[in-house]
Amino acid sequence: MKKKRNILLGPVITIIILTFAITIISSICAVLGVDGEITKVTSGSLETSVVGVKNILSKDGLRYFFSSPVETFKNFKPLVLLIISLMAVSIGKASGLFKALFTPLRTLKPSVVTFLTLFVGIVSSFVGEYGFILVMPLIAVIYQYLGKNSMLGILTAFIGVSMGYGAGLVFNYDDYQLGLLTKEAVTVDVDKDYLFNAWSNSYAMLAATFILSIVGTIIIETILKPKVKESIKEEDELEISKKGLIWSLIAFVILMAISIYTIIPGLPGSGLLLDNTKVSYVEQLLGEKAPFQDAFGFVFLIITMICSGIYGKISKNIKNTNDFSVGLSKEFDNLGYIFILMFFASLMISILNWTNLGTVVGSWLISFMSNLEFTGLPLIITMFIVIVIMSLLIPETITKWQIASPILIPLFMKANITPDFTQFIFKAADSVGKGMTPFFVYFIIMLAFLEKYNDKEINKITVFGTLNLLRPAILIFMVVWLLIVVGWFIMGLPLGPNMTPTL
């Protein structure tokens, strides 16, 4: 008998098929008049509107399909962030600075390396989704210098950033934006005097960071690591210079001090990256018009370029300005594929958003929640599952909460659950959902990084193959997150300063 051959669809073909599926499903739904109701806070009042699925095969839809790809890709923020991040990692590697910094870590136990990778991924949530693009290529290079599989490092980093997106040592940009939406949902209909505190979930976030890092280490080492086959490891002949390392570290300290000064208010010439029109520091740092968020990646690039230039010059790994210029592009080798993936991914995501398919499905789920008469744990668990399901079609954190918060916040307050804890439940479920969907752009970027470090004769990188590889780990993380949420509620532990799960 002939053995059945497994059909392996490459990521580009899979994205095209998913785009075609969105087109067909949305067109059928549009013809059938499928719609949903969305409740939003507008000008201080709740307004409910009907949102229908739009037909991409209609005249307007086809016009959008053919005219939008160039504009969509040109304004695709992850693309710009990726280029900045890759330049920083490239020069750090080409100068030998990263080799000098990370090679001594070879003495660490594999489990310690995994723990630190997860921990760094979780903490990187401070800079929002930029953490995905910053951590994955950096961890891949570090794993090379540790003599470990860079593909395992990339997968671990992705899990850390996505599963830990609702945790972290401090609040992040999304926390602030979520808090504004939470405040609107409370004050518009329930409690006019409610004030959101950005630190309200800080205790729970801190505890979740260490719990996820510890349990995640066990999950990665026992479940994921045995499934990731070894790839070819590259060696380089870059020189290690103690003198160069000392001077580059001195430069790093000085540059970091300058950078920190730009986000300190009230000092002579300070606060360059703050929105000084706002009163509270959180708003100044993380507000919509605050320069810090957009400037972070560029500041990181400048610091890395200067420190790497100093190290490369002293160590003679960089002999002239041409070496420095070329060094900025080293990590772009074998990554042309990533731009192809990002092009098709940006088109797929833009079409999904244009059709309103995810929005309508999300509205159904939230409407389902609003009709429940649950309280306590059944309500919490149901919301957790609903948000995870929503994330399959709407990976964007803020978009989901815009749909969910006007309904869920009052619903949970009637069940004696605080808005801050409701937001924490949402963040936990949102973290899990990010790692389970092919419509999350940073999942697609991860596939390209895996391909870069892949020995094609051994591993085949596919969309659903990678999802299947990650699925056991993600499901266990989901259980861990749910236990954290449920445990916090049952024990009534404080979420943060002067904040508890119940009213």
What are the mean pLDDT values of the chain's consecutive 10-residue runs (503 residues total)? Answer: 59 94 95 92 84 94 91 85 92 94 92 96 86 92 90 95 90 85 89 86 94 96 87 72 95 96 90 87 82 87 96 94 92 84 92 95 93 90 96 94 94 94 96 93 92 75 92 95 96 92 89
- Tell me: the pLDDT tens digits for 267-315? 898 989 998 888 888 888 887 788 888 888 899 999 999 999 999 999 9
Quote the strand ranges of 170-219, DSSP E: none
Q: What is the pLDDT of residue 212?
A: 96
Question: If we measure between CA atoms, which residue out of 344, 354, 357 comes closest to residue 62?
Answer: 354
Judge whether 404 and 382 are in contact, CB under 8 Å: no
Using alpha carbons, list the distances in angstroms from residue 355 to 13, 351, 379, 393, 442: 21, 6, 30, 12, 21
Residues 98, 89: Cα–Cα separation, whole Å: 9
Using alpha carbons, list the distances in angstroms from residue 190 to 46, 153, 162, 366, 456: 12, 46, 33, 19, 58
How many Cα atoms sit within 13 Å of 237 on the Cβ side? Answer: 0
Q: What is the pLDDT of residue 296?
A: 86
| DSSP 3-state percent helix, strand, coil across the chain (nearest 5) | 70, 5, 30
Tokens representing 27?
A: 């067109």
Residues 489, 503: Cα–Cα separation, whole Å: 12
Q: Where are the domains of the chain?
A: 58-238+317-491
Q: What is the pLDDT of residue 3?
A: 47
Q: Determine how many CB atoms are found less than 10 A away from the CB of residue 109.
A: 8
- Strand partners for 46: 41
Query: Would you say the C-alpha torsion 97, 99, 105, 110 has a positive or negative sign?
Result: positive
- Tell me: the pLDDT tens digits for 387-434? 999 999 999 999 999 999 999 999 999 999 999 999 999 999 999 999
Judge if pTM exceeds 0.85.
Answer: yes
Judge whether 314 and 244 are in contact, CB under 8 Å: yes
Task: Write the CB contacts of 14 (distance below 8 Å, at least 6 apart in sequence).
Answer: 438, 462, 463, 464
Q: What is the pLDDT of residue 333?
A: 79
What string of H, E and C letters represents the secondary structure of 164-183?
Answer: CCCCCCCCCHHHHHHHHHHH
